Structure 1
C-alpha cells in the first residue's frame, strides 16, 4: 500500500479532520499552560503586594478576590501535595509521585486517547486504516511538547514559573504517551495488513512502513533507557545515548512523515536548536574571561577557577571566587572540571548566597566525577576539612552552566519551616541565610519585614557533618539579635534544631586515614540531598578508593523519634549500648533521633499570622513524610475555610521522581 497520499483530502468516516484534532490537542495544552501562567502572575503580584504592605499581617488576604483565591489554592494544594505511602517489595521501597503531577500526566494521556479514537469503531475492520492515520497525526502533533518540556532554557518554565527539573519528569511521561500513541498507530496498520498476511512484506518493501517501524523501535529504546533503574546505572552513558537516539528518532520521523505534517518535526527541531543556542551563548558569556574578569591571580582564557577541599562525610567543597554569573538562594549550577573529570557535567546546589561573592558547592563523593573531585581534594589537603595555605592552594578551571531553579520568594511568608536531611542542607541553609540577609538589609533601610519566624531543622548522620555549615549556623543568632536591636518593634526569631540520627563518634576511625583531631568521622555516603538528579546521579557510593568510612560494627543507628527539638537536648537514643554526649553549644542544640515533622510544622502554623512556607530537601522518605504532614495539617486546620487558619505553601526539592 502506498501511504504517500494527500492526507488533507482523505475521508475519516464520521470523525473530524485529523488536522482539527491536532488543533484541539494544542488548545487543551494551551489551557493548562494558561492556567499555570495566570497562577504564576498572581503569585508574583502577591509577593509584590506583601513586601510593600505596611500592616501587621502583610501575608494575609486583604480582599474578597484574594480570599477566594486563597481558598481555591488551599484546595488545589491539598489535592496536589497528597502522596500515597511507599510500598515495600523484597526489602526495597518504591515511592509514588505526588498526585498533582500524576494527575497532569494522566489527564494528558486521557486527552490523547480520546482524540485517537473519538467517533471511530475499533471493532470495524474497515476503520482500522482510518484509526492508523489519525493516531499518526496525534502522535506527531505531540513532538513539540516533548522538546518544550526538555530544554533547560525552558519557555514553559519561564512563563509558568516551574523549574525545568520538574518539567523533565513530565517530559518523560509525555514521551511515554507519545510511545503509546505511536504503538496504536503501528498496531492498527499491522492489524489492517494482517488480514491479508503481508505485514512482513510491507516492512521490507514500503518506504513509509520501514521508516515508521524504525522510528518506533528507536522510541521504544529511548523510553526503556529513560526509566530510573536503567538511567541510574551511569549518567554519562545515559546522556550520550539519549542524545544520539533522539537524533536518530527525529530523522526517522522526518523520513516517515508526509509533507502535510512535517511542520511538527520542524517545530521540534527549532525548539531544540533554540535551547542549545541559548545555553551555549550564555555559557560562553560566563565562562570566557574576555566577557568576565578572571577569578584567578593571572588573566587566562577561562573566567572561573575553583579550589577543592575535602570535608567529613566524603564531601568536597568546591569554591569559585568572583564567578562570572549571579544567582539566587536555592538555585543550582551545572559544573564541569575537565582537568579532573573529562567530559562530565553534573548539577549541584549552590550552597552560598550572593553576598558571599563566591559560589560554594558541596558535592558528595559517589561514582564518576564526584569521586574524582574528592580524590583530588584529599591529595591537595593536609588535614580533612581545611584548605591548604593560600600560596600553595591549587585551583582548576571549571565550566559553569546556569543558574537554574525557580522558587517562590520566601520573604513574602509570615513563617518559614526549612527541613533538610543530610546534603539537603545545601538547599535550605542558603534560603535561611537569604531571609536573614534581607532582615539585615531591611533594618538598615527601615523597610517592613514580612517573615517573622523561621524554623530550621537538619537531620544528619554524624556530628562531624555539622562542620559543613557550622560557621554559618553559629553566626545566625548573632545576626538575628543585631537585626532585632536595629528594629526592636518587629519581632523576629530563628529556631535551629540539629538531629543526629547516628553519632559515629562512638566508632573507631581507620588508622590510615588523615582526619581532624577530636572530630567524628563521616559515614559512608548516603543517597539523598545532593543536587544530582536521579537521571544525572553518578550512582551509589563505591566501597573501594580513598573514601573515609567508619566500620559498621555495633549497628549504630538511632531509630527514636524526637517529638520537639526545643523541649530537650538530652540523648534520645543509644548505639551499641553506649550513650553519646549531648551538645554543649547553646546556639546549636543537638538532639539524637529522627525529627517528627508533623508536630514541628504544626507549631509553626499555630504561631503564624499569615501564609506559611514549608521547604524540604532530603531523602524521599523525609520528603514524602513532610508532604503527608502538610496535607494532614491543612485539612485538620481547615485552611482558608472559615477557621482563620492561613495557607501553607510547600516546596519539595527532590531530584527526579
Structure 2
C-alpha cells in the first residue's frame, strides 16, 4: 500500500465539488449515527408504549386508540412484514444452509452501498491517473469503519443499550461489517497494486517500503480474521476461535496503527478505547457478581460464593443450579458461566431457566463437547457414588446477564414456540406472564397501577424428540398451572386463557425416566407422588382442555395434517370435559405414523387443567392463525429452537401478517416476532 504520510491528504479535495476525505469520513458517521438515532427513538417509543398499555384501564390495552398510535402500529407492522421475510433453507450435502431474514440483510446492504458510494464518489476508475486518488480514498473510508466494528462487538454494548438489542444479535452485524471493511481494504490495496503494476513495481514496494509492508500485513491479518470467523471454521472449536480471535485482533490493530498516518490515527484510538471500556465494565461487574463480600450473608461461606448443584437428566442433559446468585436478571436472559475445575479459562453462554423470585439460577446443559461434557461427567459420577444426593461443584463464576427483547406483558396474545432445549428460553417467559396475572389484585384490578400485564391469552407449544425430555420442566409447568388455577379461584372476574401442548416428534412408546423431583428427600419435593400420568388416549377418550369454561375448537389444526380432521365435541354434564371423536383420522408428519386423534394427556397433581401431548410436529401456521383470530390488540410470537422451527415460524408470521393486511387499513393488529437463536 502507498504511503498516506507527508502532506495532509484528508483535507484535500479533488475538485469539481467533491468533498474532502475527512468530510467523507464524517458523512459515513452521519449516516451511521442517523440510523442508530432512529432506532433509539423507536426503542424509546416502544418503552413508553409498554408503560401506556399497563396504565390503560380499558379491556383492550394492547389495541392502539389514538391517531398517533394507530399510525405507529401501521408503520411498524409494515416494516416488520418486510424485515421478517425469510428465504427457504438450501440443503448442501449433509448440511443445510439457513439464511437470515430480509431486514438484517437490507441493513448490511445499506452499509455496503454507503461505503462504496463514499469510496468512488466523484472518481473515474477508468482513468489511470485517478487510481492513486482511489487508493487514498478507499484507505480513508476503510479506516473510519473500525469504530463501528468494535461498537458492534462489545458485550457491554453501547449500541445495544440504545436500540435494545442483545450483543448476540449485534455480533452478526459485527461480522458483516468486518467483511465490508475487508472488501474496501482489498479495493484500497488492489488499486495501489494496479497502479504499481504498470511499472512492475509491486515486488519492490512489498520488499523495501515499510509502510507498504505494514499495510499488507494488516490486510493479511484481516483476511485471516474474516476466514476464521466464518461459521464452519468457528464451530470446529469455539474456545480456540476466541483465543486466536483475540490475538489476531491485537496484531491487526498494531499493524493498522503503524500503517496509518498521524492524521487518521484517531480512528485507531477509538476502537482501542472501546475495547478497554468493554473489558473494564465487564471485569468490574464480574467482580461485583462473583465476590462474596459484596453480597452480605453469602460472604460468610466463601470469597467466591457461587457453588453449583449438578443433577443428571435424560438425554445427556445436566441441570446446574446456583442458589442465591449475586445478580438479578429478566426472563429470557443468559449468562456466561465459568468453572475452572471443569474447563480452565473457558466461559460458555447458558440461558437462565428460572425466575429471580425462585432464589436460584437453573441451567439445563446438553452435552455437546468441551466444558459441557465435564458438567455431565461430574454429575453422573457423583450420582453413581451417592445415589441420593446431587453433586456440588465449584466455585462458579458468572458474567451477565445478557440478552433483551420487548417485554411480553404488553401484548394481547402471546404464542411461545420451543424446540427441545429452547424451552430454557421460553418457559421463563411463560412463567413471567402467569406470575404477573397472579400478582394483580382482584377487585382493584381496574385501578391505576395495578395492571401488571396486558396479556389475555398465552399459547405454549413445546416440541421434543422423546417424552423423557419433558421431565426437565415438570416443576415449572406444574407451577404455571397451579398459579393459573389459583388466579381463577381467587378472582371470579379472571378471564385470562392459557393453552399448552407438547409435541413428541419421534418416540411414541418411550417410558418416562424417574425424576429427581419424585424423591421426597429432594429439596423441591414435599411428598412422594407421581406427577406425570402419561396415558395414550384413543379417539373416544376424554381429553381435558386448558380452560373448561371456554368454548373452543380442538386443535386438530396443530398437526401436520394434509387436511383438518373432522372433530365432534360432546359436553360431559358433570365434569365440563369434552369427549372428542374423530370420524376421520389423518396422518401426522412423515415420520410419526400416528393419527391426528391420538393424543396423550399430561395430568399434574392438584390442578384442574392439563397440557395435551401429541405425536408429530406442530403446524405453526395454524397455531398462530388461531391465536391471531382472537387477538384484540398487538400479538407476540416467540420461538427458540432448531433453525428449521425458526424458519417455519418466521414464514408463518410473514404470511399471516400479509393476510391480515394490517398496513392496508383493515384495523387488524400487528405481530411482533422474536427469534432466539441457540448459538450465542
CA distance in 1, matches of 2:76, 2:222: 38
Q: Aligned pair 1:48/2:51, yes or no?
A: yes
CA gap of 1:322–1:13, structure 2 versus 1, over 3 A, is same
Q: Aligned pair 1:166/2:169, yes or no?
A: yes
Over 6 Å off, 4+ runs: 563-571, 573-581
- How far has the Cα of 1:94 moved from its partner? 1.0
Alignment of 1:138-149 (within 5 A): 138-149=141-152
- Give the aligned partner of residue 252 of structure 2: 249
- Give the aligned partner of residue 406 of structure 1: 404
- Give the aligned partner of residue 532 of structure 1: none
- Give the aligned partner of residue 535 of structure 2: none
CA contact (8 A) 1:414 1:450 kept: yes
Q: Aligned pair 1:280/2:283, yes or no?
A: yes
Aligned residue pairs total 607
- Give the aligned partner of residue 77 of structure 1: 80
CA distance in 2, matches of 1:89, 1:271: 39
CA gap of 1:65–1:518, structure 2 versus 1, over 3 A, is closer
- Give the aligned partner of residue 492 of structure 1: 496
Alignment of 1:347-496 (within 5 A): 347-382=349-384, 388-389=388-389, 393-443=391-441, 446=445, 447-448=450-451, 449-496=453-500
CA gap of 1:208–1:583, structure 2 versus 1, over 3 A, is same
- How far has the Cα of 1:577 moved from its partner? 8.1
Q: Kindly provide the CA deviation profile for residues 20-56 of structure 1, in whole angstroms up to 9, marking residues without a partner as x.
A: 0000000000111011001100000000000111011
Alignment of 1:19-38 (within 5 A): 19-38=22-41
Equivalent position SS for 1:187: helix
CA distance in 1, matches of 2:84, 2:592: 39
CA contact (8 A) 1:497 1:566 kept: no
Q: Aligned pair 1:582/2:600, yes or no?
A: yes
| Bigger mean CA offset, 399-408 vs 442-451 | 442-451
- How far has the Cα of 1:504 moved from its partner? 6.3
CA contact (8 A) 1:611 1:646 kept: yes
| Bigger mean CA offset, 133-142 vs 202-211 | 202-211
Q: Aligned pair 1:290/2:293, yes or no?
A: yes
Equivalent position SS for 2:156: coil
Q: Kindly provide the CA deviation profile for residues 217-263 of structure 1, in whole angstroms up to 9, marking residues without a partner as x.
A: 00000000000000000010000000000000000000000000000
CA gap of 1:313–1:294, structure 2 versus 1, over 3 A, is farther
Q: TM-score, normalised by structure 1?
A: 0.88
CA contact (8 A) 1:639 1:646 kept: yes
- Give the aligned partner of residue 180 of structure 1: 183
CA gap of 1:30–1:130, structure 2 versus 1, over 3 A, is same
CA distance in 1, matches of 2:399, 2:160: 17
CA gap of 1:255–1:583, structure 2 versus 1, over 3 A, is same
CA distance in 2, matches of 1:301, 1:475: 34
CA contact (8 A) 2:77 2:662 kept: yes
- Give the aligned partner of residue 523 of structure 2: none
* Larger of the two Rg values belongs to structure: 2
Between the two structures, name the one with larger relative contact order (CA 8 Å, sep ≥ 6). 1
Equivalent position SS for 2:132: helix
* Counterpart pick for 1:230 among 233, 236, 241: 233
- Give the aligned partner of residue 329 of structure 2: 327
Q: TM-score, normalised by structure 2?
A: 0.85
Q: Aligned pair 1:561/2:560, yes or no?
A: yes
CA distance in 1, matches of 2:388, 2:222: 51
- How far has the Cα of 1:648 moved from its partner? 0.6
* Counterpart pick for 1:611 among 608, 625, 634: 634
* Counterpart pick for 1:597 among 614, 620, 628: 620
Q: Aligned pair 1:198/2:216, yes or no?
A: no
CA distance in 2, matches of 1:600, 1:576: 19
Equivalent position SS for 1:339: coil
- How far has the Cα of 1:9 moved from its partner? 5.1
Q: Which runs of 5+ in 2 are unaligned?
A: 518-557, 568-579, 604-608
Q: Kindly provide the CA deviation profile for residues 470-502 of structure 1, in whole angstroms up to 9, marking residues without a partner as x.
A: 121133222112112333324111100000001
Q: Which runs of 5+ in 1 are unaligned?
A: 510-514, 520-558
Q: Kindly provide the CA deviation profile for residues 63-109 of structure 1, in whole angstroms up to 9, marking residues without a partner as x.
A: 11111111110110000000011112224321111000000001000
- Give the aligned partner of residue 551 of structure 2: none
CA gap of 1:161–1:9, structure 2 versus 1, over 3 A, is closer
CA gap of 1:373–1:64, structure 2 versus 1, over 3 A, is same
Alignment of 1:304-323 (within 5 A): 304-323=306-325
- Give the aligned partner of residue 214 of structure 1: 217
CA contact (8 A) 2:412 2:632 kept: yes
Equivalent position SS for 2:399: strand
- Give the aligned partner of residue 99 of structure 2: 96
CA distance in 1, matches of 2:63, 2:592: 50
CA distance in 2, matches of 1:493, 1:70: 25
Q: Aligned pair 1:502/2:506, yes or no?
A: yes
RMSD: 2.6
* Counterpart pick for 2:305 among 284, 303, 317: 303
CA distance in 1, matches of 2:178, 2:59: 49
CA gap of 1:387–1:193, structure 2 versus 1, over 3 A, is farther
Equivalent position SS for 2:293: coil
Q: Kindly provide the CA deviation profile for residues 119-174 of structure 1, in whole angstroms up to 9, marking residues without a partner as x.
A: 10111110001000000000000000000000000000001111111100000000
CA contact (8 A) 2:81 2:657 kept: yes
- Give the aligned partner of residue 556 of structure 1: none
CA distance in 2, matches of 1:191, 1:573: 58
- How far has the Cα of 1:578 moved from its partner? 9.5
CA contact (8 A) 1:501 1:593 kept: yes
